[in-house]
Chains A and B, each alone.
Chain A
Amino acid sequence: MIKINAKYCKSCGYCIRFCPKKILEMGTERNRRGHFYPVVTDPDKCISCGICASMCPDAAIELPAKEGA
C-alpha cells in the first residue's frame, strides 16, 4: 500500500494516469502550497507495483516495505 506525502505533491496527475488498477484520483483537499493531491480510492486493490511512485517527478509517493517480507 502506497504512502502519499502531500507536502511534495504538485498535482500533475501522472500517478493517476499510470495506475494500472485505476484506484488513484485527485482529492478535494489542498496541501500548504495550494495543490490538490491524489487519494487512494480503494486501498484493498493496490498491488504495490510502484508505478505511481516511479512516475512521480516530486518523489511524493513512497512504497513502504511489506510486513514480514
Chain B
Amino acid sequence: MAEYKRSQLLADSPSGYCPGCLHGLATKLIAEVIDELGQADNSLNVISVGCSALNILYWGGDFLSVAHGRAPAAATGIKRVNPERLVFAYQGDGDLAAIGLAEIMSAANRGENFTVIFANNQTYGMTGGQMAPTTLIGQKTTTTVYGRDPATTGYPLKMCELISTLEAPRFVARYALNSPKGVSDARKGIKKAFQMQLDGKGFTFIELLTNCPTNWKMTPLQTFDYMNSNTIPYFKPGVYKDTEANG
C-alpha cells in the first residue's frame, strides 16, 4: 500500500461511536471508496435511525437523515429526481430488518438504482441492547435474558438470502468486518456496488457484519472472536447475487 489518508468525507472530530464499534469502520470504508471513485462531491448518504444515525457526527459529506426504516423510500425519491447522484442508504439491522422491512423489500423489488449498506450487529444498539430480528439463537440481550429462543421469537433474518431471491437486485453480498481480509473484500464489494449504480445497473445491497462491544458486554477484541465462532457460521459471508458475473 503506497499511501493511506483519512478521507475528506469524514468529519474532523472523533466519531460518535463507542470504542471498537465497526460502524466506524464501515463508514470509513464507504468514504474511502467514494474518494477512490472521485464522487466525493456527488455522493449523498441517506441516514436512518439507530446507531447508524450517529453517522451524522462522522460523515463530512452530504447527508439526509430520514424517518425510522424509511431510508430506501427517501433514497428512491432522491435518486429519481437526481439520477446522476451517487445515492446510498446506511441502515442498521433494527432499522432495515424490523421497522423498515417493507421499504427495503419494496425498493429492492422495484430495482431502484441506488445502494443500500446494511450494518448488521445483531442488536438494537442505541436503545440499550434489545433483541433485533437478526439476533442469533441463544444470544443474550436485554429482552432475551436467557438467550434468544426460536420457539417464541423465531429465527434470525437473513437479509442477503431474502433479497437475492428477488428478480430486480443486481448485486447482493455480505462481508464480515472483523478481519483484514473481510475489510479488503468489503471495500471491493462496496466499490463494485457503487460502480454498478453509477453505470445505471440497478439495485445493489451490501450487508456488513459488525459488532456491538457495549451491548454484547465484551471488549472490542472479544467481539471479534465471538463473531468468528457465532456470527459468521450463521450469516455466511459471500456474494449472493451478481448479475454482472453471469454476463
Contact = CB atoms under 8 A, between A and B. Distances in A.
A59 B20 contact: no
Interface in A51-69: 51, 53-66, 69
Contact of B4 (A8, A14, A53): A53
Interface in A17-60: 17-18, 33, 35, 48-51, 53-60
Interface residues of B, number: 29
A69 B20 CA distance: 33
Nearest to A33: B14
B94 to A, nearest CB: 20
Is the contact region of chain A dominated by helix, strand, or loop, or is it mixed? Answer: loop
B183 A35 contact: no
A16 B96 CA distance: 33
B70 to A, nearest CB: 27
* Chain A: interface size category: 20 to 34
A65 B2 contact: yes
24 contacts: A8-B15, A10-B19, A12-B221, A13-B220, A14-B224, A35-B19, A54-B4, A54-B180, A54-B183, A55-B25, A56-B25, A57-B17, A57-B21, A57-B23, A57-B25, A57-B28, A58-B15, A58-B17, A60-B6, A62-B4, A62-B6, A64-B3, A65-B2, A65-B3
